[in-house]
Amino acid sequence: MTEISKIAPIPLVVAAGSEITPRMRALAIVVVVSAVSGLIALTSGGYWLSNFTQAYCMVLAVLGCALLYGQLGLVSLCQWALVGVGGWVSLRFYHYVHPPFFVTILVGGVGASVIGMIWGLPALRMRGLYLALVTLMLAGAFQSLVTVISFPVGGPGFLGQVGASGNDRINMARPVFASSDTGYFLFVAGATILCIFLVEAHRRTKPGRAWALIRKNEQMAVAAGVRIVFYKAWAFALSGFLAGVAGALLAGLFGQLDASAFPTTNSIVIFIGTLLGGYEVWLGAFLGGILTRFIPALLIDLNVNTNAGFMIFGAALLFALRDPLGIGGQLTILAERLYKKYQAQRAS
């Protein structure tokens, strides 16, 4: 049998040849995200800084969605519900244990990861439209559930509720070094960089090679010794972990979360953002996540009905379907071509 370690990974971009090393790609992640984050931190405040912090949390949800669709061809429409799961678990854990903020984030990520694996079980036998419908129904079920039980607000018991007055509610505290809005935004930006590295590490190692072969041909993957169930569950667990971290970061941003913040439609918007940004490169998830939050925030700031955002996303979806590389893929190819041209000029 062919060992999985010998299976060549699918390239992230369509480009002839490549002199760009993994170290340079890693440096590009740090430089791009840091530059954009620094510009936002210097120029934004109040309303816009809060929305950009939420946009970075959305990036993590899009990153997980892009992982499933780009690596396995699986359409998951429950990513925003998993963000809510991560937020619920992190809030309940914080109110009950009062751990360091880093531990709270990890617990929220692990909690959503476990639920993501359970919700991903239908993917073992379903694909395409059927899987999309199942995950969408799960997202709707989560919205109905949290509407009934609400989010923990620091009270006793499993649900963490308080009395009718609500005077004894407890907000989740941010880290001491990130207590200000700007500091917390930069903290979320740092977490985003780490999560991007986590996904890229999976894409370029044994799990990425396994996912590539599964997407190409499951029978071939079985013949090569790939454990289909294990690696699909791994993908859903990683996707859920990213969403759970996003939920914990949102809980830290607001101190509390509300059930109305997790409508089912947001999961559909996340998938559209995945297609628009591009699911083969990290830059696609970064841009797609920012756009999915920036456009509604801009409409609100301009006093425009937010339902117009669905028209914008619909038009963007048509563009994305015509260009599978997305905005991120096109920009990545352009950057690589410019770099190669620069290198050729230096050599001559």
pLDDT given for residue 4 in this prediction: 44
pLDDT given for residue 168 in this prediction: 67
pLDDT band at 246 (very low <50, low <70, confident <90, very high): very high
pLDDT given for residue 5 in this prediction: 41
Among 89-93, 100-104, 336-340, the minimum mean pLDDT is found in 336-340
pLDDT band at 220 (very low <50, low <70, confident <90, very high): confident
Is the entire prediction scored with pTM above 0.85?
yes
Of 325, 283, 340, give the one whose Cα is nearest residue 32.
283
Of 36, 23, 13, give the one whose Cα is nearest residue 286.
36
Is pLDDT at 16 greater than 70 in this prediction? no
Among 4-8, 167-171, 282-286, the minimum mean pLDDT is found in 4-8
Is pLDDT at 3 greater than 60 in this prediction? no
Is pLDDT at 20 greater than 50 in this prediction? yes
Is pLDDT at 302 greater than 50 in this prediction? yes
Q: What does the buried/exposed string (b/e) look like for 283-320 if buried means 16 or more CB atoms within 10 Å of the residue's CB?
A: bbbbbbbbbbbbbbbebeeeeeeeeebeeebeebbeeb
Q: Rounded to whole angstroms, how far apart are CA atoms 192 and 347?
A: 36
pLDDT given for residue 82 in this prediction: 94
Is pLDDT at 11 greater than 60 in this prediction? no
pLDDT given for residue 166 in this prediction: 58
Among 15-19, 32-36, 120-124, 297-301, the minimum mean pLDDT is found in 15-19
Q: State the chain's mean pLDDT as an integer.
A: 83
**Mean pLDDT confidence for 223-237:** 87
pLDDT band at 26 (very low <50, low <70, confident <90, very high): confident
Q: Where are the alpha helices (DSSP H) in the chain?
A: 22-43, 47-72, 79-97, 101-119, 128-149, 181-203, 206-216, 218-223, 228-254, 265-277, 282-301, 308-322, 326-347
Contact 218, 58 (CB under 8 A): no
- In tens, the pLDDT along 41-75 reads 998 888 899 999 999 999 999 999 999 998 888 88
State the sign of the Cα–Cα–Cα–Cα dihedral 314, 305, 274, 35: positive
3-state secondary structure at position 303: coil
Length of the chain: 348
Is pLDDT at 178 greater than 50 in this prediction? yes
pLDDT given for residue 124 in this prediction: 67
Long-range contacts of the stretch 38-47 (C-beta < 8 A, 24+): 40/185, 41/182, 41/185, 41/186, 45/181, 45/182, 46/181, 47/297, 47/301
Contact 231, 214 (CB under 8 A): yes
pLDDT band at 2 (very low <50, low <70, confident <90, very high): very low
Is pLDDT at 78 greater than 80 in this prediction? yes
pLDDT band at 314 (very low <50, low <70, confident <90, very high): confident
pLDDT given for residue 18 in this prediction: 47
Domains, the chain, in order of start with CATH, read: 31-155+171-341 (1.10.3470)
Among 109-118, 129-138, 284-293, the minimum mean pLDDT is found in 129-138
pLDDT given for residue 123 in this prediction: 64
